[in-house]
Structure formats: structure tokens, C-alpha cells
Amino acid sequence: MTSVRNTFTGIFLKSGILILILAGIFSISIQAQTISGYISDSGSGERLLYAGIIDLQSGKATTSNSYGFFSLTPPAGSSKVAITVSYVGYLSDTLILNHLQRDTVLHIRLKAGLELKEVEIKATAGTGINSSAGLMRLNAKVIKALPALGGETDLIKAYQLTPGVQQGHEGTSGLHVRGGSPDQNLIMLDDVPLYNINHLGGFVSAFNTDAVKNSTLIKGGFPARYGGRLSSVLDVSMADGNLSKTTGNLSLGLISARVSLNGPIQKNKSTYLVSFRRFYFDLIAKPLAQRANPGSTVGYNFYDLNIKLSRIINTNNKVYLSFYNGDDKTLAGFKEKKDDGTDYYMQINRWGNTMAALRWNHLFSSRLFSNTTLHFTRYRVNNHLESETNSGNNKYLAENNLLSGIGELSLKPETEYHINPEMRIYSGIQLTYRYFKPNNYTYDVSEGNQQLQPGHNHQMLIQAFEGNIYTGAVITRPAGHTFEFGGRINTFFVKNHVYFIPEPRIKAGFKHNNNLSSFISFDLMSQNMHITGNNSIGMPVDYLLPATQKLPPSLMKQLSAGLEFRSGNGMIYTSELYYKHFSRLAMLKDGASLWEGRENWEALFARNGKGRAYGAEFMASRNEGNPTGWISYTLARSERKFDEINQGLIFPDQFDVRHTINVAMMLKIDEDADLSLAWVFNSGYRLTLPVSKYYIPVEVGDYTYMNEMYIYSNRNEFKTKPYHRLDISFNFHKQKKRYLRTFTLGIINLYNQRNPNAFYFTEIENFGPNNTRYKRITLMQRSFFPFMPNIGWSWKF
């Protein structure tokens, strides 16, 4: 253990020293002046992330980072510099700086302009600025424009329309990225992971689009700053709030209402944003239930509360405080008045996330930017049951509480050093304390003041510590070629065991001419936790458990490559190939569940599973003009192999979908109306079905009955029928004196295709020869979303 600790310390020290030496060498060698600062929206002051900045004379370029900061150093001796700043959906701006003799800090504000240029697909090194491979960004405007269930626009559903992403079961918020499972996605809100993003059984995600500024989905070519999950990173940024005036939004949909307000606390200094969303099914269900059964209570609701505060302390310092709380709640019970008292029963289930983050941006110099994040996040499921029964003079009380969850406290300082326009290095350390509570429960039964049996209080707490160090360098050559290489060391302590996992990350982009570029990347990712669930319906039935000595962290290696062609008419054609190899996967054994023996939960998992996923993604997109949108096709395969599952044979993943076509289109009809549509087609997901049956005698007392048993096919041997659906939405805008009113009319599943959400069997009575009756087992398909109209209304002021 001591030697391991020494090795760990040694790696940290060596890596830190190496970064310092590199930074020092480059700092000494560069004598040119640097232009740095922030890019923001001229109206709201909102920082613009990933904006492009080009030095027109040298052709050198850079991008703003995830906090809107940029740094550009023109060649030494340049006394006059012209830079152009551009950002999708905004008018480009060119600035000329004369007599540049020292480092200069600029705050560049861009005016919103090209309204329809909202989709930014940076799949490859096409611009020569961003070499990110396998990356897609959607901003809030696109997400809000797409058709939505019940009028509730959803970020996750928008990403389900992108290539390489499968949605899982009908209507759910599962993201199956390039053959991965939903637990393999790192989903972050303001740099903080959220562990469960499902509301309403997965039909709605936790992201309130009113509070979202930007989002990025990374499927491959992962920067070293990201880690902890195998398959994807979804990085969502909350809006900061308007620096100059108060603005807001009120939306009413069929299933929920949203309200948000943001503005300056101190003009041009500090901002606030408060956004609240509530599902109001319970407001309808409660009166109905009470009318049908007086005394009864039944209901379901969820809410999301986003709060963000930011303050510019001075030119070099800015702080952000982000808070999110979202909860689902079901309740069912009754209260019955009797002559001798009141009988009462109530069951309340709650699940949800709470997250808080404090972030501090600091500029050490015009080239050295830093961000420090301190965050807490937790997800918990709580089932509470209480009952009170009165009988004569006796009163019986029972109270049962079940709690499971996961939480973490983390500190992450990170720096970004712009050595020159051609090279920047970033590095950081993340220290995390994480706890797992797979199942804690208490139970009390009492009669009057006397406890009938000792109150039980069973606690199960597993603690883990994670230390990550990462560094990466991004080199952009004048010819437009880009190279990013770096690495991450995942250090994980759990149950007196420690893991060191080095994760190299390499990607290279090549610009062949102004229209054609290509890239290749290699990633190794690791994941320090396993999920117990064996379904993907998005219900809070899954438990997150840490990797341990018996169940080591899972690994994934991915090689991906792609081409991008930009035609003169604004069309972008991309294609990507990927091959992923999974190892050390863990999955619950057939029929096992955590309930079977929580004390010995590691034995319930099949371990050392392997998997592979490979495919090709093709996309044609249009980001400018009218209409905008994309068409994509994905050809994919995903397989798993566990010694203890499916007799050790390779089996397809449940969401191994061979062909997927997505169409998303946004059309501006005129100044006051626009139309969006989304069509999805996939060739069907996988099923395990019983193929044989037999009977066994089961004896109960004097009685013996024959119990029907089933023998199933190989895992996921069958395939469902193709899935396809067309959703459409019209938005009608009316600019009033003080606000913009938008009326939305949408239809989900326009041509009423019955797509499967689940399959089950039932016995249907049939008639045979001579009118003899017999029962036949029949496979049934359950669909949730037939033709469904929806309307919504919003006021933006």
C-alpha cells in the first residue's frame, strides 16, 4: 500500500513538474504581445463559448474556451493587428489594433444576427480551428425549436436525433451513444455530474431548456479534461443571466409550466438567473382520485429549480455560483375516519438530484487562464411508508424508510496556457470524495407507546476517493492541421484498494483544402462505477455501485476517423467511422437483483465482460440559410460477452440497432412563423423471448399445482419491427410592445405509427376444430405515443 501511495505521489509530482517546465520553456521563448479577453453577447453580456478568432494577417486562429475566454498572440513585431471574431448566429466583427506594443485585454461583444444559424456541427477539423472529432453542439434555440412531447422541449431528445445516438425505449431519455449504455454517459450541468437525469420514467429529462445556454455532446476524440465514463460526455452550460437588463420567460405546456427570470444584480457586474419548472399532472389527478374514492390521495409531480449567480470581480476574476435541484415525487394513500379514530396510510417515493457548484475564473496573465470548481452533487431515491391503525384504544404505528443514493464532493483547479496561437496546453487536478448508499433502511412498528419489535436501522455506506490529473496540448498549424494529445490518470481508492489507470488521448485533424478535411483519434476511457439495472426504462430502480477489487473499473478504447466536406452552398457533409472495445464490464447475472443479498452484492455481478461496438455515421447538415437542419444515417453494431451470461456466448446489446436515419429540419416560413419537423427511423432493437415451456409440480400444503416455466432464447436473439415516427411543430410569434409571444402547435407521431415501448405475453382464447376452446400465449406490444397533438404558449420579455 505504501509503495502504491509513493507511486501515486510520484506520478503527480512528475506530471506537475513536466507541465511547469514546458510552460516555462515556452514562456521564455515567446516575446510577442498577446491579445486576450472574453467574447460575449452585446445585448445580454452572456459569454459566448467556442467563438472563432482569426488574425487576418498571419492567418492564425483560436477559439474561446468554455468560459468565453480567448488568447491570441500575433507574430512578434506585428504593430498593427486585425482580428475577426465570429460565432454562429451572430454578426462577425473585425477589430484593428494599431501600435500593439504590450499585452492587450479585449472584451468583444457580438451582435446577434443570423437567426437561423443555430446549429453548429463541428464533427471534424473543417475550419482548422476546432479539430474536435465526434462532437456536436446544440444551443437552446435549436432544442426549443424541435417538436416536443406535451410541448416540453427536451435537450436529450434533441441529441437522440443526432448520428450515433440511440434513444432506447420509445419516448425515454436514454442516450445510447455508439453502442454504450446510458450509465456510460458523463452528463454535466455547469461542469458538475448529474447521476440520474430522468423525470416521468424517462419521458422528460432534468434539463429545463429555459436555463440552458449551450450544450456539447462528445462521442469520440475526448479531451483529457473529461473522464469517468466510457461512452460519451454531455456538457451542458446554464445561462449566466443578462448583465444589463432584466428579461424573463413564461411557458405553459400541456404537462408542465416553466418560468424564468434573469438580469443584473449590479449592472455590468453581477447577474442572476432563476428558472423553475413544474409538472402538474397531480393537480389534475388529485381531485379525480378524491372524487372516485373519498379520503384517498394519489399524485405524481416533478420540478426543477435552477439558480445561477455570477459576479465580475475585476478584469481578472469572475465567480459563478450554480445550483440545481430536481425531484420527482409519487404519493399514494388514504385517510379514513372511523368511530374509534382515524386510519391512515401513505406511501411517498421521491427521487432526484441536487447540485451546487462554485467556480472561480482567474486570469493570471493574458495567456494563462484558470478555473477552480468546488462542487457537491448527489442523487437519492427515498421510499417512505407510514401507516396508523386505530382499533379500540389501541393505536398501531408503522414507519418504513428506504434510502439509496450516491453523492460526491469535488475540487478541481485547472489551467489553460496559451503559449502562442499555435499551441496551448491545459492541465488540471480533480480530487473527489464519493459515497454510495446502495440501500439504507429503517423500520419501526409500535403499539401505543410500546415498540413491538426493535426498530431497525440498517446502514450501508461505501466510500471512495478519486484523484485525477490530466494535461493536454492543442497545436494548430497555419495550414489548418490540428493536433491534440494528452492524458489523464484516473486514481481510485475503494475498500483499501487502489487503481491507477492511465488514459491516453490523441487526435489529429488535417485540412486538405478549403473544403475537405479529415481526422483520426484514439481514446482510452475508464469508469469507476457500475449500475445494477438490467433495463433501460429510466425508472429509479437502478443502483450505482463503486468499482471494487472484485469488480474493477471498466475500460473502453476507441479508434475513430472521419471526413468533412464543406460545399459552397452552406452544406456540410461528414462521415465518421469508429471501433470501440470494452473490457472489465460488469452486469447483473441472469435473474439476480440487489435485493437478493445486499451484503454480498459483488457476487451478483457477472464480471470481466467484454464488448465491442463499431459503425459508420453519415450526416448532411445545413447551418445557414433557410431551412436549416440535418439528415443522418448510422450503420452500427454492438455486442457483449460475459462468461456467466448467455452461456458465455457473444450476444447483441439490447439497443444494437443496425440502421438509423434521423431528419431534423427547421424552416422559417416568414418573420412570424416557423416550422420544425423531426423524423426518426431505426431498424428495430433486440429482444429476449421465451422459446419453450415446461411444467413443474409445486406443493403447497395438501395441494399440488403445475407451475409453468419458460426457457428463453439466447440473449437478445430476436429483433423488433422497425421504429419510425414523424413529429412536427409550428411556432407562431407575435412581437408585442413589451414581450414576444409564441404560440406552439405540435403533433407527436403525425401518422400514428405504433412503436413498441415494451413487449409482454398474454394468453388469448382461441377456437380450434369443432369449436374447441384453447388458450394460446401471444406476444403483445405496448405503445405509449399514438398521434398526440399538443399546444404551448410562451411569453418572453
Partner 1 sequence: MAECYFCTFMPIARIFALIFIAALLNGCEEPVEMDIPAAEQQTVAFASQSCNDTLRVFIARTRHIYDTAVNRGCDPSAIAAIVYKGNETRLLYNGERFSAPGFKAMPGDTVVLRIAGDGGNYTRAQAIVPESTVNHSVDIALSALLIDDVYYSRVQLDFYDPAGETNYYEFSLNVIFTENDSSYTFGYHYFKSFDPIMVNEDIMQYEPITMLFSDAMFNGSAVSIPLYYFLGFWNDKYQKVVVVSELRNISREHYQYYKTLYKEMYNESGIWSGMSMPFSIKGNVENGAGLFSLFTSTHDTVVYDFR
Of residues 395 through 414, those in contact with partner 1 by CB under 8 A are 396, 398, 400
| Sheet strands (E) in 495-570 | 497-511, 516-527, 529-531, 544-546, 554-566
Closest approach of partner 1 to the CB of residue 209, in Å: 19
What's the distance, CA 243 to chain centroid? 28
Nearer to partner 1, 513 or 772 (CB): 772
Closest separation in Å from C-beta 67 to partner 1: 36
Say if CB 495 and CB 549 are below 8 A apart: yes
Any idea which residue has 464490464 for its cell? 585
- Closest CA relative to residue 142, chosen from 550, 581, 729: 729
State yes or no: residue 732 binds partner 1 (CB under 8 A): no
d(CA 471, CA 223): 9
Nearer to partner 1, 292 or 700 (CB): 700
Q: Is 712 in the site for partner 1 (CB under 8 A)?
A: yes
Strand segments (E) across 148-294: 165-166, 176-177, 185-189, 192-193, 198-199, 204-205, 212-218, 232-238, 247-252, 256-266, 270-279
Footprint of partner 1 on 649-678 (CB under 8 A): 654
Cell numbers at 791, concatenated: 399546444
Residue 280 CB-density burial (10 A; 0-12 exposed, 13-18 middle, 19+ buried): middle
In angstroms, the CA 160 to CA 203 distance is: 13
Q: Between 515 and 757, whose beta carbon lies closer to partner 1?
A: 757
CA distance 761 to 423: 61
- Closest distance to partner 1 from the beta carbon of 721 (Å): 8
Candidates 387, 515, 583, 608: give the one binding partner 1 (CB under 8 A). 387
Q: Is 42 in the site for partner 1 (CB under 8 A)?
A: no
- Closest separation in Å from C-beta 758 to partner 1: 4
- The residue among 52 and 147 lying less far from partner 1, judged by its C-beta, is 147
Site mask for partner 1 (CB under 8 A), range 234-253, x = bound: ------------------x-
Q: Give the footprint of partner 1 on residues 584-603 (CB under 8 A).
A: 590-591, 593, 595-600
CA distance 676 to 790: 14
Written as one string, the DSSP assignment of 567-619 is: -TTSEEEEEEEEEEEEEEEEEEPTT--GGG-GGGGGGGEEEEEEEEEEEEEEE
Of these, 265, 479, 706, 740, which contacts partner 1 (CB under 8 A)? 706
User: Is residue 784 close enough to count as binding partner 1 by CB under 8 A?
Assistant: yes
Q: How far is the CB of 404 from partner 1 (least distance, A)?
A: 13
Q: What type of residue sits at position 708?
A: E
Q: Which three cell numbers stand for residue 240?
A: 449566466
Query: By CB under 8 A, what part of segment 430-459 binds partner 1?
Result: 441, 443, 445, 447, 452-453, 456, 458
In the complex, least distance from residue 241 CB atom to partner 1, rounded to whole angstroms? 23
Residue 697 lies near partner 1 (rule: CB under 8 A): yes
Within 111-174, strands assigned E span 119-120, 135-139, 165-166
The span of 130-138, 468-476, 509-517, 768-776 binding partner 1 (CB under 8 A) equals 768-776
Q: Kindly state the smallest distance separating residue 104's Cβ from partner 1, in Å.
A: 47
Q: Is 699 one of the binding residues for partner 1 (CB under 8 A)?
A: yes
Q: How far is the CB of 607 from partner 1 (least distance, A)?
A: 18
| Interface of this chain with partner 1, residues 735 to 754, rule: CB under 8 A | 736, 739, 741, 754
Q: Is the peptide bond before 193 cis (omega within 30 degrees of 0)?
A: no
Which residue stretch of 393-401, 504-512, 561-569, 624-632 sits at the interface with partner 1 (rule: CB under 8 A)? 393-401
Site for partner 1 (CB under 8 A): how many residues? 95
Looking at 121-129, 132-140, 290-298, 757-765, which segment touches partner 1 (CB under 8 A)? 757-765
CB count within 10 Å of CB 719 equals: 15
537-556: which residues touch partner 1 (CB under 8 A)? 537
Using the contact rule CB under 8 A, the part of the chain among 35-43, 290-298, 483-491, 701-709 near partner 1 is 701-709
Among the listed residues 384, 404, 270, 374, the one whose alpha carbon sits nearest the alpha carbon of residue 329? 384
- Which distant-in-sequence residues (6+ apart) come within 8 Å of 787 by Cβ? 747, 748, 749, 750, 751, 752
701 is a site residue for partner 1 (CB under 8 A): yes
- How far, in Å, CA of 632 to CA of 34, rounded? 41
CB burial of residue 766 (10 Å; 0-12, 13-18, 19+): exposed
* Closest CB 197 distance from partner 1, rounded Å: 20
d(CA 619, CA 662): 9
* Single residue of 703, 751, 769, 771 touching partner 1 by CB under 8 A: 703
Closest distance to partner 1 from the beta carbon of 300 (Å): 11
Task: Please give the residues from 505 up to 534 whose contact with partner 1 meets the rule CB under 8 A.
Answer: 534
Question: Near partner 1 by CB under 8 A, which window of 115-123, 465-473, 612-620, 769-777?
Answer: 769-777
| Angstrom distances, CA of residue 464 to CA of 67, 220, 502, 548, 565 | 30, 28, 19, 10, 46
By CB under 8 A, what part of segment 204-233 binds partner 1?
none
The SS3 call for residue 209 is helix
The answer to whether 315 contacts partner 1 (rule: CB under 8 A) is no
Interface of this chain with partner 1, residues 250 to 289, rule: CB under 8 A = 252, 254-255, 281, 284
Are the C-beta atoms of residues 694 and 709 closer than 8 Å to each other?
yes
Among 391, 567, 626, 735, the residue binding partner 1 under the rule CB under 8 A is 391
Contact region with partner 1 (CB under 8 A), list: 259-267, 313-321, 660-668, 766-774:
766-774
**205 vs 187: CA distance, rounded Å:** 11
Shortest distance (Å) from residue 526 CB to partner 1 = 26
Which of the ranges 227-235, 289-297, 406-414, 776-784 carries the binding residues for partner 1, by CB under 8 A? 776-784
Determine contact, residues 526/553, Cβ cutoff 8 Å. yes
Cell numbers of 36, please? Answer: 486576450
